[in-house]
Amino acid sequence: MAARPSGPNGFPVQLAALGKDYGHFTALKALDLSVHPGVSLGFLGPNGAGKSTTIKIMTNLIRPTRGQATLFDIDVRRDPVRALSRVGAVIETPEFYGYLSPLETLAYAGRLRGMARKDIRARSEEVLKEVRMGEWAGRRIQEFSKGMKQRLAIAQALLHEPDLLILDEPTSGLDPRGMAEIRDLIKSLTGRGRTVFMSSHLLGEVQEVCDEVALLNHGELLVQGSVRDLSRGSGASTFQATFLAPPSEEDLSTLAATPGVQALKRVGDGAVDFTITGGEAAQAEVLEAMVRRGMRVTSYRPLGSPLEQLYLDRIQESDRI
């Protein structure tokens, strides 16, 4: 489905030289970042990288020390009401008013956004069903677990069918099944043309849900690009092969000489770890070399994703500097 219209510059999110200082500590240096309409961007980085600071500036919870955050061409600082009108946000795990029910909470958010009462009712039922909270719609939130609050947070972010979703660790507090459900939900949203800006610690989650990745460390953007391109261009990958019979020293010498094999290491009796450069072609060549030598391969799989490798490489590099 085509992406929904955004501002004249075409970016639902545009951050220009965005920075934030807390006293002498610089949480964010000068972040430049744009997200195209309909794209789902994973915002990655270790703790303290500046992810939450960026998201809080984007949602007008804190002020930038320098630079500008614009959503659909509207400066969040200057006109937060208009800038946030097409945005749904989940920031950390928000607390809700314990004396309200999910339906009342959504009605509150809907009325603040100027939605008609019948639309609020219809959409509330819809989004609560989507996040599997339908049967809790009338219960007081004070009885809810963290996971249930997180589902409600996602429901309120979806209530007004926003063009841009800003999600800070959206699966935090959920059990594995809940995490999978929310990932599917986010994927379906980008399929419907929505733009998603999502921070996460979970690389696998980002790889599954997002089209693009931006990697942040020490308040600086290290890299931004499509998940596919970054995965392909991510230097070396580690693969593990297991064999029916332990490989001989000769087998290992032959494999070590295969183009793309940077290093190999015997792991236990019947397994070998390979560090391979040269992307998917080189990975295939190593497997072919094993088969050519008559080695009986029982499994051949990557250890960690290419994105993980890229993440670790870039973060380590940035930490050294």
AA letter at 84: L
CB nearer to another protein: pick between 60 and 234: 60
Q: Which two tokens stand for residue 319?
A: 């930490």
Residue 140 Cβ vs another protein, minimum distance, rounded to whole Å:
8
Report in angstroms the alpha-carbon separations of 96 from 5, 27, 109, 114: 32, 28, 11, 20
Residue 104 Cβ vs another protein, minimum distance, rounded to whole Å:
8
Is 155:128 a contact under the CB 8 Å cutoff?
yes
Q: Which two tokens stand for residue 275?
A: 């560090």
CB nearer to another protein: pick between 95 and 269: 95
Pairing of strands 164-168, 87-90: parallel
CB nearer to another protein: pick between 89 and 127: 89
Residue 10 gets which letter from DSSP? S
Q: Which of 14, 147, 134, 165 is nearest to 76 (CA)?
A: 14
CB nearer to another protein: pick between 158 and 241: 158
Residue 47 Cβ vs another protein, minimum distance, rounded to whole Å:
15
CB nearer to another protein: pick between 59 and 309: 59
Residues of the shown chain interacting with another protein in the complex, contacts defined by CB under 8 A: 22, 56, 59-63, 80-85, 87, 89, 91-92, 94-97, 99-100, 104-105, 108-109, 111-114, 153, 156, 166
Residue 52 Cβ vs another protein, minimum distance, rounded to whole Å:
9
Residue 201 Cβ vs another protein, minimum distance, rounded to whole Å:
18
CB nearer to another protein: pick between 123 and 314: 123
Is 234:310 a contact under the CB 8 Å cutoff?
yes
AA letter at 196: V
**Helix spans in the chain (H):** 51-58, 80-83, 102-112, 117-130, 146-158, 176-191, 203-209, 227-232, 249-256, 279-292, 306-320
Residue 210 Cβ vs another protein, minimum distance, rounded to whole Å:
21
